[in-house]
Structure 1
Amino acid sequence: MNHNDGRGLRVFLTGASSGIGMALARAYAGQGATLGLVARRASELTALRDSLPEPQRHRIYVLDVTDHAALQAAADDFIAALDGADVVIANAGISQGTLTEFREDLAAFERIMAVNVTATFATFSPFVARMKSLPEAQRRRCRLVGIGSVAGIRGLPGAEAYSASKAAVISYCESLRVELRAAGIKVVTIAPGYIDTPMTRVNTYRMPFLMPPDQFATRALQTIAEGRSYRVIPWQMGVVAKVLRMAPNWLYDAVFARAPHKPRNL
């Protein structure tokens, strides 16, 4: 199995029915990978599968990633059917504006954390023991991929839950990466900037370096194949992220205090 061309790869992907997930699914399928596609919406998931090359090779799982029993069952089915997985991508994610001053935003905060953070753990968990049991050469082909965000690098006003969730994903994947280093299993964190998806199209403000999802997928697949520990895509947002990370709090606060907010109550 060659990560560089995707042929023979077994890829389990959540949040597959739209946006980044759909672009990743199309890119991997185009390279000859066999996919396990997870999403909540049956019609969109079925349409995606049917649009892929050799659709009969791919398996679909209609579920909410916060239903951990259903997610475990899907992972077990994929492992049994394909004799394991090479790449597991915890891509499912949601976003909306949240403000702590509004008590009614608590439910949205909890939902965002459940989908973006806890479900990342629940997506990876069924695969780790199986990957660790493989011979060394096979373990070194394995990838666990978490999808962070530039929003996880510094907290953005009006996006308290989303920023917190993506910061948690980045930190969680770093912890897991170090934990699995001795086993030779690569944990890859990808932090998208602004990608042209349904999630970002609700934004009413300018989005610098906006990237089409197919271009994002091409770069993401390369990053995953290389087993890189962390990458911001596009690279221009990576430069911005480094500057933001180094900026002192007083400067960051002054610049971003009046930044536009993501809409609430979506």
Structure 2
Amino acid sequence: MTAAAHADRVFITGASSGIGAALAREYAARGATLGLVARRGEVLDALVASLPHPERHCRYALDVQDHEALAAAARDFLAHAGGADIVIASAGISHGTLTERPEDLAVFESVFATNVNATVATFAPFIGPMKAQGGRRRLVAIGSVAGVRGMRGAGAYCASKAAVHAYCESLRLELKSSGIRVVTIAPGYIDTPMTRNNRFPMPFLMPAERFAASAVRAIARGDSYRVLPWQMGAVAKLLRALPNGLFDLLFARAPTKPRKETA
């Protein structure tokens, strides 16, 4: 049995599709007890029914922007499972935005509410109980290589993921002496419903199932920061090292993400 298989009480937001669903399937295959959060209850029901030992898992149909409902789900899962070993804040949204368009301010706020504020709200109810329980414990945020440099037309998404990365660094220092490991997983291009809306080439596109298996190993090790796939890690380091002038020259005309149509 692998080290990851012992971390068997796992709470995952954004679990109905994409990366969250792939992580749920991977952990369920390893015998974990899951708490799964997403807005679409019927999709969660179908996911749970497809997992090994569906009776073992809890599903919570809620919006992660509803912090009271999220805290109530955390309390219920802690009571049901007797604790939590891994908490994964995977809920995320992505829309193209243009600051010059006034209607996009609401989109910025929604992206930050889901990608940043909900990550904090996901972790907060678990920290006290996890400190008390001891053992191997992980708080995991799903960041993105988009948080390494800002890209044209993606200000909300890039800034939100950069904020997630910085927040997790702060949290890692805060919890250093507690034994709780804070893990940031930064996906590159993963084959999910979110990335299928992209209208540009996606190098090193990784199947969600393969991403989940690699992520589970990184989480088990307690890696502080891991880019997946590894090739995108090399690209991210190169992008971060580029002088601003060269970066601007290379990416000023890059394709943009589709904007969200607003009324």
Structure-1-length-normalised TM-score? 0.96
Give the equivalent residue in structure 2 for 1:241.
Answer: 236
Give the equivalent residue in structure 1 for 2:201.
Answer: 206
Give the equivalent residue in structure 1 for 2:22.
Answer: 23
The amino acid that maps onto 2:14 is G
The whole-number CA distance in structure 1 between the counterparts of 2:207 and 2:171 is 30
Residues 99-248 of structure 1: pairs in structure 2 closer than 5 A: 99-135=98-134, 138=135, 141-248=136-243
Identity of aligned residues (%): 65
The amino acid that maps onto 1:75 is A
The whole-number CA distance in structure 1 between the counterparts of 2:159 and 2:115 is 10
Q: Is the 8 A contact 1:8 1:32 kept in 2?
A: no
The whole-number CA distance in structure 1 between the counterparts of 2:252 and 2:2 is 43
Structure 1 gap ranges (5+): none
SS at match of 2:133: coil
SS at match of 1:37: strand
State the 1:134 CA deviation.
2.5
The amino acid that maps onto 2:214 is R
The whole-number CA distance in structure 2 between the counterparts of 1:8 and 1:238 is 26
The whole-number CA distance in structure 2 between the counterparts of 1:133 and 1:27 is 27
The whole-number CA distance in structure 1 between the counterparts of 2:87 and 2:151 is 28
Give the equivalent residue in structure 2 for 1:4.
Answer: 3
The whole-number CA distance in structure 1 between the counterparts of 2:64 and 2:133 is 26
The whole-number CA distance in structure 1 between the counterparts of 2:30 and 2:133 is 24
SS at match of 1:208: coil
Structure-2-length-normalised TM-score? 0.97
Report Cα offsets for 1:183-206 as digits up to 9, x if no partner: 111000000000000000001110
SS at match of 2:70: helix
State the 1:8 CA deviation.
5.9
The whole-number CA distance in structure 2 between the counterparts of 1:262 and 1:109 is 14
Number of aligned residue pairs: 261
SS at match of 2:226: strand
Q: What is the aligned-residue RMSD (CA, Å)?
A: 1.0
Structure 2 gap ranges (5+): none
